[in-house]
Chain A
């Protein structure tokens, strides 16, 4: 169980960053629940979130750990602790926040470059909000039967979501994400690292970021390392892996919604087919679901029992 030294940042240090981001962002989301929203006409002045916290940490440390920590923190503290856990709906926010923070963190290679920090921060927010918007639209489409047929609804959904997107990016994004990040990152840089027992990362010099004086093995699997190496190279490229990962994540996020939509069609179809023998169809459906649950239950029990 010794420290794995093959990546720039060691496993426990990743855990440290995860724990740190989780606690802080979790608390921050709790706070934002408290701050009331103001609405003037259709423009909303609300504090959507304090994304500057995970953004700053992702830029200073390992972006992946910070990104996962942020989404987990939000889920655990503000949703579960406050009892607001939306269940499956939270999956979407979990993924979009993680992706936004991760990409923003990967973009910055020199925390002292304030412009870069600001750009990355706002880009992260835009990405997150955009993904959120798409998911929201899909959601309404799913929830309302014959969505297109309801007069005025499609337009209004597109309009409100689009407007909310702009609103959030321009108001929350700039005030509560971009500006504080630009203020915090250079301030924290070099100060917070020693508290965690790490060395501050240096711009342009590869492999100095972590204190683990590790041998740089080729072909590390850890995404963190990959992004880190690339980040410290001369040009600010978004690592290919980050893009792929993000795309997959996003696909899952809306995939869930599309699945739901097709599921609706399925039920519709079933319903028309079952006009005559409705009771039997419903019964069969319920029985199938129950059987699936029981089988899974038993399998899981066995799995755990065998683990000994």
Chain B
């Protein structure tokens, strides 16, 4: 069943599709509500929603958090592929653990803590997807730098943001070279399918050999240009940092965002007390 599913997926998911999804995700949603927020606020928000769930036992509270985060994820218009990968990530992990623990003499008592754990994982992952996918990478880089992240890291984000389409296109072209000139095994039978799949993975790996050499050629120019543009000089200079981060400003929107989140959480806490009170 799982095999069949992944087989189908592999047919659909091509490099082209991936490229499109990534581009959509990285460049396509800079006009959503989430993207317009101050990255610093979002990072702090994430710090809470990414950490707090781990320490909570209250299912009601966790559910409340989940609803809030899910709603925000919708507002951030996350690409479908990302959401799909997210779901797979959450459910395979715990489902698998459950099976094994049943094998080791677990029972229904094991299920409950695992479900709670799944919920925690879901909240944390959704929060990160919302923040880091909704935010455009450049702003994220600025935000991280403001909090004292090494400058090299935020540069890398921007640089990756710039180079990704170029690299993907080059990689795609090399893969096409393989496809046009190679000879993929027929995939009519099951054995054929496996062989076809192995062949594809092998081609992807082999394609990195030319890509490594081509990219090496590129990075030389890039680093020379960086030197000319004073990048090395700037990375140690606080004044430059100040100018660069001057674009970060708190606005009304940010206050609303924090306010609504806080209010919702407070409501959840209240509700959870009420539920517990009712039960007692």
Contact = CB atoms under 8 A, between A and B. Distances in A.
A and B in direct contact, judged by CB atoms within 8 A: yes
Interface of A: 1, 11-12, 15-16, 18-20, 22-24, 26-28, 30-31, 33-39, 42, 47, 50, 52-53, 56-57, 72-73, 76-77, 79-89, 140, 142-146, 150-153, 155-157, 159-160, 176, 180, 184, 187-188, 191-192, 195-197, 260, 263-264, 267, 278, 282, 293, 297, 300, 303-305, 307-308
A308 B82 contact: no
A81 B242 contact: no
B129 interface: yes
A1 B101 CA distance: 60
B212 A160 contact: no
Nearest to A191: B213
B241 A83 contact: no
B163 to A, nearest CB: 6
Given A152-B101, A159-B104, A191-B213, A34 B205 contact: no
30 contacts: A16-B222, A16-B223, A18-B152, A19-B223, A20-B219, A24-B208, A26-B167, A30-B18, A34-B13, A35-B204, A36-B6, A42-B100, A56-B212, A76-B157, A76-B160, A81-B137, A83-B132, A83-B133, A85-B129, A85-B132, A87-B124, A87-B131, A144-B116, A144-B117, A152-B102, A152-B104, A153-B113, A155-B104, A159-B104, A160-B100
B109 A87 contact: no
Contacts of B217: 195
B110 A151 contact: yes
Contacts of B222: 16, 19
B22 interface: yes
A145 B137 CA distance: 36
Interface of B: 2-3, 6-7, 9-10, 13, 15, 18, 21-22, 25-26, 40, 44, 46-47, 50-51, 54-55, 57, 78-79, 81-82, 85-86, 96-97, 100-107, 109-110, 113-114, 116-117, 120-121, 124-125, 127-129, 131-134, 137, 140, 146-148, 152-153, 156-157, 159-161, 163-164, 167-168, 171, 201, 204-205, 208-209, 211-213, 215-217, 219-220, 222-224, 226-227, 232-233, 238-239, 241-242, 245, 269, 273
A82 B212 contact: no
Contact of A195 (B13, B159, B171, B216): B216
